[in-house]
Structure 1
């Protein structure tokens, strides 16, 4: 039942991630453009150049802020990663782990479980 619920949660996170992929790309592009504009603003020596970079920066900032709901996609990507990690966790076979005595069948089951792990 746990694996089924993890599968449903992973499927939901994947759908949310794919639905927000475009805005996530635009958000990343906007942040990168803001970085480039800031670097050019710092390099500019004239007042007119600095004013031009500030105006361009405000325009790009407005486009970037409009894609802030893409953070939902980032949260979905993180959730998908965490679901993947918990899916890959080794399931312990409680029957094999509980029996510790030297019954040949138990030893066989334990060795068979170790072979299947690798």
Structure 2
């Protein structure tokens, strides 16, 4: 029953992620454009140039704010990651013999325990 509920939650999170994929891309592009506009604003020496870049930055900022609900898509992607981790579990446990004279024989076992 637990796997079934994880599967249903994964399907819901995948649907939310796919529904918000377009706004997520637009948010990323608008944040990148804001960075470019800020760099050009800082390079500009004239007052008219700075005003022009500031107006363009405000227009791009309005596009970015209109796509802010795409953060729900990022949350859905994170939930999918958590579901994937719970689904796969700890299947890669290595068992080694601890009665070896080699001091590095338990390294793989201890490394696996640290990564849990």
Report the TM-score when normalising by structure 2: 0.77
Corresponding residue number in structure 2 for 1:23: 23
Deviations 1:52-104 (A, max 9, x none): 0000000000011000010000000000011001101037xxxxxxxxxxxxx
CA RMSD of aligned residues (A): 0.9
Counterpart of 1:97? none
Question: 1:44 corresponds to which residue?
Answer: 44
Aligned to 1:85: 85
Q: Distance in 2 between matches of 1:6 and 1:90?
A: 16
Whole-angstrom distance in 2 between the partners of 1:45 and 1:78: 43
* Pairs aligned (count): 91
Question: Equivalent residue for 1:74?
Answer: 74
Q: Which of the pair is proportionally richer in helix?
A: 1
Post-superposition CA distance 1:1-41 (Å, at most 9, x none): 11000000000000000000000000000000000000000
Structure exhibiting the larger radius of gyration computed from Cα positions = 1
Q: Does 1:33 align with 2:33?
A: yes
Unaligned runs of 5+ in 2: 92-116
Structure 1: gaps of 5 or more residues: 92-118
Which runs of 4 or more aligned residues in structure 1 lie more than 2 Å from their structure 2 counterparts after TM superposition?
A: none
2:9 corresponds to: 9
